[in-house]
Chain A
Amino acid sequence: MSILVDENTKVVVQGITGKEGTFHTRQMLGYGTNIVSGVTPGKGGQTVEGIPVLNRIRDAVDRFGANASCIFVPPAFASDAMLEAADAGIHVIVCITEGIPTLDMVKTAHFIGKRGSVLIGPNTPGIISPEKTKVGIMPGHIHKRGGIGVISRSGTLTYEVVDQLTRAGLGQSTCIGIGGDSVVGTSFIDHLRWFKEDRETKGVVLIGEIGGTAEEEAAEYIAEQFDKPVMAFIAGRTAPPGRRMGHAGAIISGGKGKAEDKINALKSHGITVVLNLGQLGQMALEVFKDSDTSLAKN
């Protein structure tokens, strides 16, 4: 199984006529994602890669039963795109866009929370349930279906981790990038809750980085309520305070958000933290050795 998205997910691509939107629509179709329509206001009636383009999300829901969206809309308009999707009743909204103003996200997150939609991102590679569907921009071929859930704040770092897991023979149930911004739609804990209920997820790899306290909060939740093995990696042990390390959310401010604090919080709650990224795959075999990851084995 998997969480949030699977082979039954019907995706609408917002901003499908843009360069990124078109490119990744082709990539997603190649992976087998069921894209039912695209939306670009004013371009309704066109087609992209054989996919019908509509003016409004509500039409994608009414006519094609879309229940997930993937957003490739420039930062200034991305909030509006997310709000439109939530209002139309889209269940899983994946916002790839990087560079959205934080205050826009504050308003958007509250609105989406009230509508009951699940927002992944923004500034995320998206979500993939290997060999079922991908809603995002990650390279599909490095993934393999299996029993490990992956939750991350990063993009290429996640690919690195997934690649190592796959090579070690550990497939993945679902991999989620929660986003590199300071305000994102869903947290580590939200996804851990869903993984907890997912029978085929046997263990979870959590990839955190400096900034905020989401990892510390996740550590507490895991210790108190999560009964599957968890392994973590935290990036940014060498990051200087006060500097934004690429991601808008990756900044140590006011003495908070340090990698060491996160690592210590995770360790003190009994969670294995990998310090050497190069050894992650091998360590994962060790951590998950008692779990039944039969799906993952060749």
Chain B
Amino acid sequence: MKIHEFQAKDLFRTFGIPVPSGKVAYTPGQAAEVAQGLPGPPWVVKAQIHAGGRGRGGGIRLTNSPQEVEKAADEVLSNPLITPQTSPSGQKVRQVLVEEGLDSEREFYLGIVIDRKLASPVMIFSQAGGMEIEEVSAKHSELVLLETIDITQGFMPYQARNLFYAIEPMPDKEVLKVFSAVTSQLYQLFISKDCSLVEINPIVITKSGKLVALDAKINFDDNALFRQKEIAHLHDPYEMDELEVKASQYNLNYIRLDGNIGAMVNGAGLAMATMDLIKLAGAEPANFLDVGGGASEEMVTNGLKIILSDERVKAILINIFGGIMRCDVLARGVVKTAKEIEIKVPLIVRLEGTGGKTDIKEFGS
């Protein structure tokens, strides 16, 4: 699960990680009001959407008066923001973060992820702050430092020193104390809130010598939300596709894509493989939909309804491999749906495995 920057910074504050003074605003007027209560000018107005690359899409504005803040907020809030990570039509912005503008002298990258191979958290640090870490890693791997964290020990002070003393030229030694505290607290946050990623890009040393997290990105492990009730609360359904929200209410794994061939499959791996087959055949899949390895009649009905409510879909491919679950159960789900709602697009059904020889007919318009 992803959250917004302002939510991530609130979490940083509770963990004692320094962030700029700032507050979220939902209207241009509110934004100007917030700015007047903060140190400044300058103030920064930042669009709050989950997708990255906001700066390049014009979603981050530097302003010098409350009037400019209001104007910037108005522009950001009234147009969908298009970034390299949003859909081509962009993402509607529903709130902005207004912050004091800080003069940064040096910028770094700091993050924590799980290294799958080592089955351990790993802290990532780079002197090339502000750039995409993937890009830095590809072009200047020597600038990316990794500290693998022993899950039984936690992040150790020596590991903070390993990172700090590699910085060239070395910052003032006073910064080390804060750096140690920040790295250690970031790890505490990662572990105690079941994060899958925390990222500060950039974390800066200001001209006045303070270490501050200018940005904040946190992703959480969906599997752990059952024990992170407060975090689950931060979920923003407006950031999700409408059909995806509906599908999640049915416990279906649905992801909307750009093509026009709807696909419904049991099992995630087979669903991906089926999307690939659609593409291989020269068409584009309209969605990923996994109705579950042991899908029920009801899951099939709900899944089909979701696909059918996507107007771009020109044909539907159902690919079911019956395992323990019988194909004929699933076939009944399809027939039931066809009786309930009119299916105007061609439906191609492939049933294989257990119970796959049941008499299945193809439905057409």
Residues of A within 8 A of B (CB): 23-24, 27, 75-76, 99-107, 109-110, 125, 137-139, 141-142, 152-160, 163, 180, 182-183, 187, 207, 209-210, 212-214, 217, 233, 235-240, 242-250, 253-256, 259, 275-278
Contacts and interface: CB of A to CB of B under 8 A. Distances in A.
Given A180-B268, A254-B133, A238 B224 contact: no
B223 A101 contact: yes
Interface string B109-147: 000011011011100000000000110001000000000
Contacts of A245: 253, 255, 268, 271-272, 288, 290
Contacts of B270: 154-157, 160, 235
B222 A158 contact: no
A156 B321 contact: yes
Q: Report which residue of A75, A213, A239 has the largest number of chain B beta carbons within 10 angstroms of its beta carbon.
A: A239
B275 interface: yes
Nearest to A103: B194
A160 B275 contact: no
A160 B253 CA distance: 20
Nearest to B191: A103
A187 B132 CA distance: 29
Lowest 8 A-B CB distances belong to which pairs?
Answer: A246-B268, A154-B269, A156-B267, A157-B269, A101-B224, A235-B272, A246-B290, A236-B272
A244 to B, nearest CB: 7
Interface string B176-206: 0000000000000001001011000000000
B78 interface: no
A210 B272 contact: yes
B324 A139 contact: yes
Interface in B242-262: 253, 255, 257
Interface stretch (B13-21, B67-75, B276-284): B276-284
A106 B194 CA distance: 12
Contacts of A139: 322-324, 353-354
Given A139-B324, A152-B269, A242-B85, A102 B114 contact: yes
A242 B324 CA distance: 32
B152 interface: yes
B266 interface: yes
B152 A110 contact: yes
B233 interface: no
A75 B224 CA distance: 9
Nearest to A110: B151
Given A103-B221, A109-B119, A243-B255, A209 B272 contact: yes
